[in-house]
């Protein structure tokens, strides 16, 4: 069985950066499932599809021509890694992620990323729904204030406008929507390692996940 490390958590908990660095350290493939929802949202908005039109968005998601290439995300060869990080796209992604038909359409696409030598998958339901048989499951979290500060810095560094109070409110609303939705609500997977990152650096968070992985690997020969 090809090993999978799942890293789930709320928006701006640092899971994307941690996942990419863990994948690089281990030489594993990377799946940014949140990007798939953002890519679908971007494609839907560009096609002028209403965000509550589940059948149309699901049909679009099934044939999403996405490719992760180093730090770039390509859709039909077009780099969109910066465009999908806009807050409007993130908010739209959270809305369509609550649509069962859209989630079902993206499941098979996500399973296809499980290739040798291994995969690090980050998102909100990687350990609970998409890869319930994952080798190592991690759930990252942080206070809403810490997450808002991180997102604020990210947006400013990329040249996007940002308002701290608006970000706080947006994160609170997304948390409520993600944890209370009927389909695949955000929650730690059974057996997941919990990692509170409010006071940790990215390097410390990455090292903790790698320590858990090394511990698992060390038990396999016994």
Query: How large a percentage of the chain has pLDDT more than 70?
Result: 99
DSSP secondary structure, the chain, as one string:
---EEEEE-STTSSHHHHHHHHHHHHT-EEEEHHHHHHHHHHHHHHTT--TT-HHHHHHHHHT--EEEETTEEEETTEE-TTGGGSHHHHHHHHHHTT-HHHHHHHHHHHHTT--TT-EEEEESSIIIII-TT-SEEEEEE--HHHHHHHHHHHHHHTT----HHHHHHHHHHHHHHHHH-SSS-S-PPTTPEEEE-TT--HHHHHHHHHHHHHHHHHHTT-
For position 71, what pLDDT does the model report? 72
> pLDDT tens for residues 180-204?
887 778 899 999 999 999 999 999 9
> pLDDT tens for residues 84-140?
988 889 889 989 988 999 989 999 889 988 999 999 999 989 999 999 999 999 999
Domains for the chain: give ranges and CATH numbers.
Answer: 4-212 (3.40.50.300)
pTM (2 d.p.): 0.82
């Amino acid at each position: 069985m090809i090993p999978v490390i799942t890293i789930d958590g709320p928006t701006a908990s640092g899971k994307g950066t941690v996942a990419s660095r863990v994948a690089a350290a281990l030489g594993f493939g990377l799946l940014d499932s949140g990007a798939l929802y953002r890519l679908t949202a971007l494609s839907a908005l560009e096609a002028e599809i209403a965000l509550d039109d589940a059948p149309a968005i699901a049909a679009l998601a099934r044939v999403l021509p996405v490719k992760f290439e180093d730090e770039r995300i390509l859709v039909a060869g077009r780099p969109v890694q910066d465009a999908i990080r806009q807050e409007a796209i993130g908010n739209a992604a959270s809305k369509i992620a609550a649509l069962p038909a859209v989630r079902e359409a993206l499941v098979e696409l996500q399973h296809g990323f499980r290739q040798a030598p291994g995969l690090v998958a980050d998102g909100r339901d990687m350990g609970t729904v998409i890869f319930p048989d994952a080798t190592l499951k991690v759930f990252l979290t942080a206070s809403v204030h810490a997450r808002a500060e991180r997102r604020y810095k990210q947006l400013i560094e990329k040249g996007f406008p940002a308002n701290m109070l608006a970000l706080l409110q947006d994160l609170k609303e997304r948390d409520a929507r993600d944890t209370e939705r009927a389909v695949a609500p955000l929650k730690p997977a059974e057996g997941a390692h919990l990692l509170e990152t409010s006071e940790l650096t990215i390097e410390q968070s990455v090292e903790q996940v790698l320590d858990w992985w090394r511990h698992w690997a060390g038990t396999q020969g016994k």
